Chains A and B, each alone.
Chain A
Amino acid sequence: MERDILIGIDIGTSGCKTAAYAVDGSVLGTVTEPYGVQRRTALEAEQNADDWWNAVCLNIRRLINDKGVDPKRVLAIGVVGHSWATLPVSREGRPLHPAMLWLDRRALSECEQIKEKIGEDYVLSLSGNRIDPAYCVPKMMWLQNHRPEVYKSTYRFLQSNSYIVYRLTGEFTQDTSQGYGYYVFDIAQRDWSMEALEKFQIDPDLLPAVFESDTVVGEVTRQAAEETGLVAGTPVIAGGVDCAAACLGANITEHLETQEQAGQAGGMTICTDRPYRDLRLISGCHVLRDRWHLSGGTVSGGVLNWIYQQVLGAGFYNARRLEGRDPFQLLSEEAAQAKPGSGGLLFLPYMAGERTPIWDPLAKGVFVGLSYEKGRHEIIRALMEGAALALRHNLEVAASAGAKPSILVSVGGGSRSSVWCQIKADVTGVPLGVPNMQDGTVFGAAFLAGIGVGAFDDFKDALKQIVQVEKWYEPRSELKSLYDDLYEAYLMSYQSLKPVMHKLAKITE
């Protein structure tokens, strides 16, 4: 029987998405299984690795049983996942501690120690990243300091995708694209740095061997086959980080092409042909062998959800108007009634604190410039413009580091709003396209598996056949000076309000 099905698995923060595709890109089925984040304290954010695995098993069985995916026809499996998860496992691959997530901020004092002993310059030049509790090495040190018995019995540290790869194949692996989570990973050489391991006094044996993301690292074991319904012997690749897979899935493969995530969490990922470094951004290896990426992660994407659900309330638009319609479409219609610049109303979208490029967990959302002439239309437009200004801020920092984006390709819920897309093009001055592929991350995982097993003669050609931009939004030059002024006001307002935001945090703590 011909093997012509690729399975992609995405270990996300709120759940696991799993999808099966034919080699020509047609979707055979997509399923999602949610799981939670455990927060015992405000600083901690953990997941049980077994929850990931159970979700994977459930999803694959659903694909087979409900979507008619024939496991015998599965050609290869690709797993991607969220970054910076730190999971110590035993020799038998048993989790010794819950996985500490990218949201986990408990390793603050470990970060101070690294700054003092190693220095941020060294970390940036080697790993391309800043010192922050989100990263893996501070979390490893936290375990060493606070859970010494766990650290002592740890055989390997795994991440989100590598744990699932282990459960599928029994192999302990580390892929290049997730390497940037470790300060002992040399992103230029795409491998561990022995020098850095020594500096950090980390036993090299704790870290698995490194493979490029598309490498077939093993086959589905008999036990995994029993648990998932897959066929033993099915090839599995090393996989990689979700944002890079999402780029691949949106056909972002060339130097300076950029993917923009318009989901609950926003962000951008610039594909590059060499590593770029900036303390304010996130840098890493792409899931493609000769590519890197420079990324920004914001929390601004959820602002429309917030105003729709928390402020306007579900009953705001009467049911007849809403029937069968996307609420975000209605919000977009309102925003379209306000002038560009929202009449001078500015929104700082830092509602849940902000990551790149300001790295301020204490930042908050702010409207500046309310007046009688400005109402709901301006407020909704200002929310969209505020998120676009946050995107521009990231892009400008990347440009200052040498990576000036050529195009933006927008994915996620926000890309359904043509008003918002046009705002982003106008505010950033970069043409923005919306592709026909919306599940880019999980498709990217599956497609990467296809590359790994040599399913395509020329994978870029194959990708172009499957993923195309359906609509382009060009920046309007007549709005440039207005948005330049608004951007200036955006930067200045944050600077002016930062001390007050930090005071507020002290009160509300």
Chain B
Amino acid sequence: MSFIVGIDVGTSGVKTLVISETGEIITQATAEYPLYHPKAGWAEQDPEDWWQGTLTTLKKVAQDLGPKAKEVKAIGLSGQMHGSVFLDKAGKVLRPAILWCDVRTAEQCWYITEKVGGRERLIGYTSNPALEGFTAPKIVWLQQNEPEVYQQVDKVLLPKDYVRYRLTGEIFTEMSDAAGTVLLDVVNRRWSQEVLSALNISPDIMPEVREATDVCGTLAAEVAEAAGLPAGIPVAGGGADNACGATGAGIVKAGRVLSSIGSSGVILVHTDEPQTDPEGKVHTFNHAIPNKWYVMGVIMAAGLSLKWFRDNFAHMEKQLENLTGVDAYDLMSKQASQTPPGAEGLIFLPYLNGERTPHADAYARGVFFGINPRHTRGHMIRAVMEGVVYALRDSVEIIRGMGIPVEQVRAIGGGAKSPLWRQMQADIMQLEVATLNVDEGPAFGAALLAGVAAGIYSSVEEAAESTVRITHTTEPNKALTKLYDDYYQLFRSLYPALKDRFREAAKLEA
């Protein structure tokens, strides 16, 4: 029997799991670490925390495996995208890593776009516009604001690649994570010399880009000993959290769409060819499958919208949860299900902290629209859940508009556990919604990639097809197509109507 380790270096913590070659989860462990906000809009982490967290979880899973730990054949890595780790020549971390959710770089985004020759040009080179969260703006920020640090930079690493450096002593990145830097020529799969030179970034500081399934070093002896795992086992390239999450959900073929309702929401579709939205509303990144791509839209407040409503209005449900053990969200779902689809004209815009896809607008705010005296808390809960799905449908529509086939939705995340939310996804997107036997997030996909690197599977596709199965499907209710189309059109017309109002309201927030 072979076992494979998958590690996901997330924002709130690291998750490490061990799978058998049939995809069974043998054991898993998590370790949390802090997120620092030294200034408003800043978000940083100490890479040492990632490393210590990783080591802790590796020790834990090795302990659980006992004698079977000797049969671990490979390690795969996944992690939060876009974060920047700056290393000096000695491999020492120069400053805290600047994360994906850090928004200090608004000016740098303008600067980059201008230097490269405009938004269209930039999208032409890298398939994506410069967004505050991405890596290039962070590098430029360092150039401009901490030049003495920038001078010492020998390499820029992404979070999971830094962890690999500590596991193996080797410095590499791979396509799917490199794609999130806006420095990679996503179509031709190499660093964009045009963008690097326009921004005066030396190509030497960028790590060599390999494939997700390439062996990128082996487990160093001293780490192996500390963790209790075999020395010398291959560590794969791995992939960005979204790429690994998609791989782990079997999004390895055209037509399959990932719909993830976690804290945020993601719509992600596999493509065989690189396809770019000329408006840059959805992202085009390299997949964790060699020579494949994916297109992705992200909404900022998916599950967080419902959590916000729960925390403010569902005290009764929380009390009942304490008394009965029935989850407050289940009780809320029950109330929502007692109101009709469309919530009798109540529509929610889930822009509680701005929005990424499709508006890319930090000023956007949440809206309850169409309130009438009949509306109850149940209507409001339904409206929040439907609003999240309307916002996800925005991404689906853009993707459809690009001519990409969209056939089956695979639902993951906390939202996939709610039958009502699954039905809403089926009805509002008018697509079949499948749930899967595994929903372990990116760490599972990372393990599959490592399995390919170690020769356990012949390809990523084979790895996914032999481990990921559909356990349940939810069919769209055709009788609701018209109703939801009408409400979706209304939903779509609300943001343009209010865009300027959001900007004016920003000054009232102070």
Chain A positions near chain B (C-beta within 8 angstroms): 302, 306, 310-313, 315-316, 341, 343-344, 346, 351-352, 364-373, 375-376, 379, 482, 485-486, 488-489, 492-493, 496-497, 499-501, 503-504, 507-508
Contact pick for A489, options B304, B377, B490, B501, CB 8 Å? B501
A-B contact pairs, 6 of them (CB 8 A): A310-B376, A366-B368, A366-B371, A369-B505, A485-B507, A496-B498
Contact of A503 among B344, B490, B502 (CB under 8 A): B490
> Which single residue of chain B is at the shortest CB-CB distance from A368?
B367
Q: How far is the CA of A351 from the CA of B490 in the complex (A)?
A: 18
CA distance A503 to B494 in the complex (A): 11
Do residues B486 and A507 form an inter-chain contact, with CB atoms below 8 A? yes
13 A-B pairs besides A344-B509, A500-B490 with CB distance below 8 A are A311-B380, A366-B370, A369-B365, A369-B366, A369-B509, A482-B508, A485-B504, A489-B501, A492-B504, A496-B497, A496-B498, A507-B487, A507-B490
Known contacts A376-B313, A379-B312, A508-B345; decide if A368 and B498 are in contact (CB<8 Å).
Answer: yes
Knowing A310-B376, A351-B373 touch, does A371 contact B366 (C-beta < 8 A)? yes
Contact of B353 among A371, A507, A508 (CB under 8 A): A371
Asked whether, in the complex, the Cβ of B497 is within 8 Å of the Cβ of A369, the reply is no
- Kindly identify which residue among B365, B375, B486 contacts A370, using a CB–CB cutoff of 8 Å: B365
Contact A489 B493 (CB under 8 A): no
Do B508 and A485 touch across chains, with their CB atoms under 8 A apart? yes
Q: How far is the CA of A507 from the CA of B353 in the complex (A)?
A: 29
CB distance from A498 to the nearest CB of B (A): 9
A376 touches B312 (CB 8 A): yes
Nearest residue in B to A348 (C-beta to C-beta)?
B371
- A312 surroundings in chain B (CB, below 8 A): 313, 377
Structural contact, B315 and A351, CB atoms closer than 8 A:
no
Q: B35 an interface residue at 8 Å Cβ cutoff?
A: no
Nearest Cβ on chain A to B326's Cβ, whole angstroms: 16
Q: Would A501 and B370 count as touching, CB distance under 8 A?
A: yes
User: Please, how many angstroms separate the alpha-carbon atoms of A346 and B304 in the complex?
Assistant: 21
**Residues B505 and A316 in contact, CB atoms below 8 Å apart:** no
Task: Determine if A500 and B497 form an interchain contact, defined as CB atoms under 8 angstroms apart.
Answer: yes
Residue with the highest number of chain A CB atoms closer than 10 Å, among B375, B501, B504: B501
Query: Complex Cα distance A369/B345, Å?
Result: 19
User: Once bound together, how far apart are the Cα atoms of A56 and B89, in whole Å?
Assistant: 95
| Shortest distance between the CB of B281 and any CB in chain A (Å) | 22
Per the bound structure, the CA–CA distance linking A279 and B503 in Å amounts to 33
Contact B367 A367 (CB under 8 A): yes
Q: Return chain A residues, CB-CB under 8 Å to B146.
A: none
Distance from A399 Cβ to chain B, minimum over Cβ atoms (Å) = 24
Given contacts A351-B372, A366-B369, A504-B490, whether A316 and B504 have CB atoms under 8 Å apart is no
A352–B375 Cα distance when bound, in Å, is: 11
Q: Which residue of A lies closest to B368 (CB)?
A: A367
Asked if A306 contacts B373 (CB within 8 A), the reply is yes
Interface assignment of B506: CB less than 8 Å from any CB of chain A: yes
- Let me know if A507 and B345 touch, CB within 8 A: yes
Q: Is B204 an interface residue (CB 8 A)?
A: no
- Bound: A493/B313 CA distance, A: 25
Q: How many angstroms from the CA of A482 to the CA of B508 in the assembled complex? A: 7
The answer to whether B373 touches A352, judged by C-beta atoms less than 8 angstroms apart, is: yes
What separation, in Å, do the CA atoms of A476 and B158 have in the docked complex? Answer: 54
List, in ascending order, chain B residues with CB within 8 A of A366's CB. Answer: 367-371
User: Is there an interface contact between B505 and A302, defined as CB atoms closer than 8 Å?
Assistant: no
- Find out whether the CB atom of A364 lies under 8 angstroms from the CB atom of B370: yes
Interface size grouping (class) on chain B? 35 or more
Q: Contact between A364 and B369 (Cβ–Cβ < 8 Å)?
A: yes
Using CB atoms, name the residue of chain A closest to B497: A496
Identify B365's interface contact among A368, A379, A492, A499, CB under 8 A.
A368
Which A residues touch B342, using CB under 8 A? 507
Whole-angstrom distance between the alpha carbons of A313 and B494 in the complex? 29
Q: Which of A373, A489, A499, A507 contacts B505 (CB under 8 A)?
A: A489
Identify which of residues 405-460 in chain B touch chain A, using a CB-to-CB cut-off of 8 Å. none
Please tell me if the beta carbons of A372 and B315 are within 8 angstroms of each other in the complex: no
Q: Which of B140-187 contact A (CB under 8 A)?
A: none
CB distance A365 to B372 under 8 Å? yes
Tell me the B residues contacting A by CB distance below 8 Å: 304, 308, 311-313, 315-316, 342, 344-345, 347, 352-353, 365-373, 375-377, 380, 483, 486-487, 490, 493-494, 497-498, 500-502, 504-509
Chain A residues lying within 8 Å of B498, measured Cβ to Cβ, are: 368, 493, 496-497
Closest 8 CB pairs of A and B: A370-B366, A365-B371, A344-B508, A344-B509, A375-B312, A367-B368, A508-B345, A376-B312
With contacts A501-B370, A504-B490, A507-B490 taken as known, whether A372 is within 8 angstroms of B308 at the C-beta atoms is: yes
* Shortest Cβ distance from B367 into A: residue: A368
Chain B, residue nearest A343 (CB):
B509
A270–B507 CA distance with the chains assembled, in angstroms: 34
A331 CB to closest chain B CB (Å) equals 13
Interchain CB contact (< 8 A) of A493 among B353, B375, B377, B501: B501
How distant is the Cα of A306 from the Cα of B501 in the complex, in angstroms? 26
CB < 8 Å neighbour of B316 from A315, A365, A504: A315
Distance in angstroms between the alpha carbons of A482 and B493 in the assembled complex: 29
Q: Is the CB of A500 within 8 A of B493?
A: yes
* A493 to B377 Cα, complex, angstroms: 24
B371's partner among A364, A372, A373, A482 (CB-CB below 8 A) is A364
A344 pairs with B497, CB closer than 8 A: no
| Chain B residue at minimal CB-CB distance from A306 | B373
CB-CB under 8 A from B375, the residues of chain A are 306, 310-311
| Contact residues in A for B367 (Cβ distance below 8 Å) | 366-370
In the assembled complex, which residues on chain A have CB atoms less than 8 Å from the CB atom of B308? 372, 375
Query: A310 near B377 (CB under 8 angstroms)?
Result: yes
Looking across the interface, which residue of chain B has its beta carbon closest to that of A353?
B372
Nearest-Cβ distance from residue B387 to partner chain A, whole angstroms: 11
Measured between beta carbons, the chain B residues less than 8 angstroms from A486 are 508
With A485-B508, A489-B508, A500-B497 already in contact, the answer to whether A371 and B371 are too (CB < 8 A) is no
Q: How far is the CA of A183 from the CA of B181 in the complex (A)?
A: 71
Contacts of B506 in A (CB 8 A): 344
Return A292 CB to nearest CB of chain B, in Å. Answer: 33
Q: How far is the CB of A196 from chain B (nearest CB, A)?
A: 37
Q: Which residues of B contact A367 (CB under 8 A)?
A: 366-368, 371
Chain A residues whose C-beta falls within 8 Å of the C-beta of B313 in the assembled complex:
311-312, 376
Q: Residues of B contacting A501 with CB < 8 Å?
A: 370
- Contact between chains at A311 and B505 (CB < 8 Å): no
The answer on a CB contact under 8 Å between A352 and B487 is no
With A316-B316, A496-B497 as contacts: A375 and B365 at CB distance below 8 Å: no
Q: Which residues of A contact B380 (CB under 8 A)?
A: 311
Q: Which of A313, A370, A492 has a CB less than 8 Å from the CB of B501? A: A492
The answer to whether B502 and A369 have CB atoms under 8 Å apart is yes
- Check if A311 sits within 8 Å of B376, measured CB to CB: yes
Write out the residue numbers on chain A whose beta carbons fall within 8 Å of the beta carbon of B487.
507
Residues of B within 8 A of A368 (CB): 365, 367, 498, 501-502, 505
Q: Determine whether the beta carbon of B372 is less than 8 Å from that of A496.
A: no
Give bound CA distance, A492 to B509, whole Å: 17
Known interface pairs A376-B313, A499-B497; A504-B507 also in contact (CB < 8 Å): no
- B350: nearest residue on chain A (CB-CB)? A370
Q: Which residue of A lies closest to B494 (CB)?
A: A500
Complex interface: chain B residues within 8 A of A313 (CB): 316, 377
Task: Point out the residues of chain A lying under 8 angstroms from B501, CB to CB.
Answer: 368, 489, 492-493, 496
> Chain B residues near A508 (CB, 8 Å)?
344-345
- What residues of chain B lie closer than 8 Å to A346, measured between beta carbons? 505
Per the bound structure, the CA–CA distance linking A328 and B200 in Å amounts to: 63
In the bound complex, CA of A155 to CA of B459 (Å): 93
Q: Are B311 and A500 in contact (CB under 8 A)?
A: no
A50 and B509 CA atoms in complex are apart in Å by 55
B300–chain A nearest beta-carbon distance, Å: 10
User: A357–B506 Cα gap in the complex (Å)?
Assistant: 28
Cα distance, A364 to B379, chains bound together (Å): 15
Contacts of A343 in B (CB 8 A): 508-509
The complex places the Cα of A333 from the Cα of B504 at a distance, in Å, of 29
Residues of A close to B376: CB separation below 8 A: 310-311
Tell me the bound Cα distance from A310 to B498 in angstroms: 27
Given the complex of chains A and B, what is the CA–CA distance between A499 and B489 in angstroms? 13
Closest partner residue, chain B, to A315 (CB atom): B316
